[in-house]
Chains A and B, each alone.
Chain A
Amino acid sequence: MAENGQALIKLDGVTKVFFTDEVETHALSGIHLQINKGEYVSIAGPSGCGKSTLLSILGLLDSPTEGQYLLNNRPVAELPASERARVRNREIGFIFQSFNLIGDLTVFENVELPLTYRGMKAAERKQRVEAALERVGMAHRAKHLPSQLSGGQQQRVAVARAVAGEPLILLADEPTGNLDSRSGEAVMDLLKELHKAGATICMVTHDPRYARHAERSIHLFDGRVVEERMEMAVTE
């Protein structure tokens, strides 16, 4: 475990090129980025600026064409697929714009899912899932199906699923994009609480109101970092 303030994520010259019909599209060009343990970082920028590509590389869903990626001091840019799946499962917690709960599984089973991929014992899983649901205030809905919940509630369950595995970092992709304003605020408050409790969070958003919740925001444009700014609002 890294100490607070230590570099948890380090990107060095990360470039991502897509080849389509003999045209090279540079989705990311030479990104240098460091996220320290305990930070709350937002990534902002207009559509097509490379936010999603960056997030997918950070989350090991995709690998960079060039450049180094150190996750907790371990080079992860060129891991084989099965090892990447292992890292995603243990070190990263995802929160998606469209919640991405699995419709056929109950709230409890959804939160449990990443833990089952670790081969964790049932008793331990139960305890962790209950704790995570308690943290997001959804313990009373453990047996419901996602379709029986509102959007805001579904996103809270998704947050519980992300934190249940005690990952190194939470990656959130427009977590409020599909929510009405009130539910959106509630989810942002939940993330703020998690951060206060020590979680490292990296969030993609194009809503400046929510970007301000983070301590630091990174602006991307055409695949490059154009601005980094400390957000003071959150330190109060």
Chain B
Amino acid sequence: MLISLRSVEKSYPHGVGRTYVLRRVNADIKEGEFVSIMGPSGAGKSTLLHILGMHDSAWSGEYYFMDQPVHRLNPKQRSELHKKHIGFVFQSYHLLDNLTVYENLEIPLSYRNVSRKDRQSMVADILDRFQIVGKKDLYPNQLSGGQQQLVGVARAVIANPQVVLADEPTGNLHSAQGKEIMELFRSLNESGATIVQVTHSEVNASYGTRIIQLRDGWVVDD
């Protein structure tokens, strides 16, 4: 089992009581799956994804990632685990405006102590794979939304993670661009990556192999 959640809860204190964002979430995700998390806004989808991505650490319950108990790891260990195995794709791309495409792709590697030479060849590889060699010296604001998201996905997978987490990856794109990105996810999945996406769209969900439905913080349908 790649990911295993047991009774994961997240809540905010509200005066005397608490507001729950996630309630007793149990889920298992196997290697090679392509999972879509769906549900109305405010259901806790993004929160769940950020917990899976280990960006969020204020929650309770048990989370095993590749059999490691994430809930028992300290921030440093979590960060190591996340660096090694997880890539993240954001709805609004979140590329760094000050850096070129090339430098944006290089960032995750620079945080992983990859040597300069290896970095060069890995970035060159990914530019080829995603067919964006011609864009490498451009800044994000010189790219269309679809191209930016292409770079976003490239950045997520450049360090060869086992899992790619995507938060509404096509939310800001029109349908043709969205389709291109989803095809990309499909091919990544076919070449072995596990993919978990949050989406509103039934069409996008149909690329996946499984759907987890959330409502008001509860898993209502899996």
Contact = CB atoms under 8 A, between A and B. Distances in A.
B42 A150 contact: no
A104 interface: no
B42 A148 contact: no
B211 to A, nearest CB: 21
- Interface range on chain B (Cβ under 8 Å from partner): under 10
Contacts of A151: 19
Contacts, number: 16
Contacts of A150: 14, 17, 19
B15 interface: yes
Interface string A176-214: 001011000000000000000000000000000000000
Nearest to A152: B19
B216 interface: yes
A144 B216 contact: no
B216 A148 contact: no
A84 interface: no
Contact of A180 (B13, B14, B15, B42): B42
A141 B14 CA distance: 11
Interface in B194-222: 216
B14 A149 contact: yes
Interface in A163-185: 178, 180-181
A108 to B, nearest CB: 14
Interface in B28-83: 42
Nearest to A154: B14
Contacts of B216: 180-181
Contacts of B15: 141, 144, 148-149
A111 B194 CA distance: 51
Contacts of A147: 14
Contacts of B19: 150-151
A181 B216 CA distance: 9
Interface string A136-161: 00000100100111110000000000
Nearest to A143: B15
B165 to A, nearest CB: 25
A150 B19 CA distance: 7
B207 to A, nearest CB: 27
Nearest to B217: A180
B17 to A, nearest CB: 8
A222 to B, nearest CB: 21
B193 to A, nearest CB: 34
Which 6 residue pairs spanning A and B have beta carbons closest together?
Answer: A148-B15, A150-B19, A144-B15, A148-B14, A180-B216, A150-B14
Interface of A: 141, 144, 147-151, 178, 180-181
